Structure 1
Amino acid sequence: MSFSISASGMTAQRIRMDVIANNIANANTMITAEGSPFRRRDVIFEATGRTFSESLSVERRRLNRTIGSGVKVQQIAEDRSENAFIKIYDPGHPMADDNGIVLRPNISVTTEMVNMIDSSRAYEANVTAFNSYKQMEEKALQLGGR
């Protein structure tokens, strides 16, 4: 059970890092296949399994040690807000509209790098939990074999 919880966390953070890397790579992409500037994407997570309070209610009725089963990516959402693009006045730019406004993605590379570090640390925490559980299982097998 703990292996799958840590593994789901590692998978979710790997996907988040891929999305962040894509945001950074497209920070200056002014036109996509849809004809608009690139829209920043964000990963939305969802817990899987039961919540602690749900598990506690079940435990009152029967003995079961399952509490949760990890996390999953619910969706990768595009920024559809009014602030998705930065408006820059540059009438000489080939992408400028009739008013001389050029739309650029509203992506802060600094913010994305902070998000990448956060995701990397979360991934490392899941690796540490995975390895700790593995060591406990190995020790239990050693003790059981005596």
Structure 2
Amino acid sequence: MSDFSNALTVSSSGLRAQAERLRFLSENIANADTPGYRRKTVSFEQAFGGPDGMVKTGPVELGRGALEKIYDPAHPLADSSGHYMGSNVDLVIEIADAREAQRSYEANLKMFDQTRQMSSALMDLLRR
């Protein structure tokens, strides 16, 4: 039964990590038009103290790419040349990353569900 428990633990750690990643991606998408906003990224690390394969999210990193320089002399943040700093969020990249995170989340969910079904089927066999 320990193998089933380990499989459930590993897949649930993947679910938590992808959910956290999706949260940061949605923050990036929501703030794409916010002046001075830097894209947030999160990496995954191996989680210790459990079965092999467990993951957790690492520290949040801010995008180091250059902020977009936008010309709008009427904007309240515009400098003397009429420019202000936009964000460094690229919506195409964020949406592609969100789809990848969603599919990874669904794969972890499928693994969790299949492990649960196998465990239930084994218990039914042992009862006979």
Pick the TM interval, shorter chain: 0.7 to 0.9
TM-score with structure 1 setting the length: 0.77
The equivalences for 1:105-124 within 5 A come to: 105-124=87-106
**What is the aligned partner in structure 2 of residue 41 from structure 1?**
40
Provide the aligned length of Structure 1 versus Structure 2: 123
How many Å apart are 1:88 and its aligned residue? 2.4
Structure 2 residue identity aligned to 1:39: R
Structure 1 residue identity aligned to 2:42: V
How many Å apart are 1:104 and its aligned residue? 0.4
How many Å apart are 1:67 and its aligned residue? 5.4
Q: Could you tell me which runs of 5 or more consecutive residues in structure 1 were left unpaired when the two chains were aligned.
A: 31-36, 51-65
How many Å apart are 1:111 and its aligned residue? 1.4
The equivalences for 1:1-146 within 5 A come to: 1-30=6-35, 37-49=36-48, 68-79=52-63, 81=64, 83-146=65-128
Per-residue Cα deviation, 1:4-55 (whole angstroms, up to 9, x for no partner): 101010011111111001000000111xxxxxx11110111102249xxxxx
Whether the aligned pair in 2 keeps the contact of 1:4 and 1:69 (CA below 8 Å) is no
Structure 1 residue identity aligned to 2:98: M
CA distance in 2: counterparts of 1:28 and 1:129, whole angstroms: 37
CA distance in 2: counterparts of 1:89 and 1:97, whole angstroms: 10
Whether the aligned pair in 2 keeps the contact of 1:40 and 1:84 (CA below 8 Å) is no
The structure with more strand, counted as a fraction of residues: 1
Structure 2 residue identity aligned to 1:109: L
Structure 2 residue identity aligned to 1:20: L
How many Å apart are 1:69 and its aligned residue? 4.5
Whether the aligned pair in 1 keeps the contact of 2:37 and 2:87 (CA below 8 Å) is yes
CA RMSD of aligned residues (A): 1.8
**What is the aligned partner in structure 1 of residue 3 from structure 2?**
none
**What is the aligned partner in structure 2 of residue 58 from structure 1?**
none
CA distance in 2: counterparts of 1:131 and 1:70, whole angstroms: 17
Q: Could you tell me which runs of 5 or more consecutive residues in structure 2 were left unpaired when the two chains were aligned.
A: 1-5
TM-score with structure 2 setting the length: 0.86
Higher Cα Rg: structure 1 or 2?
A: 1
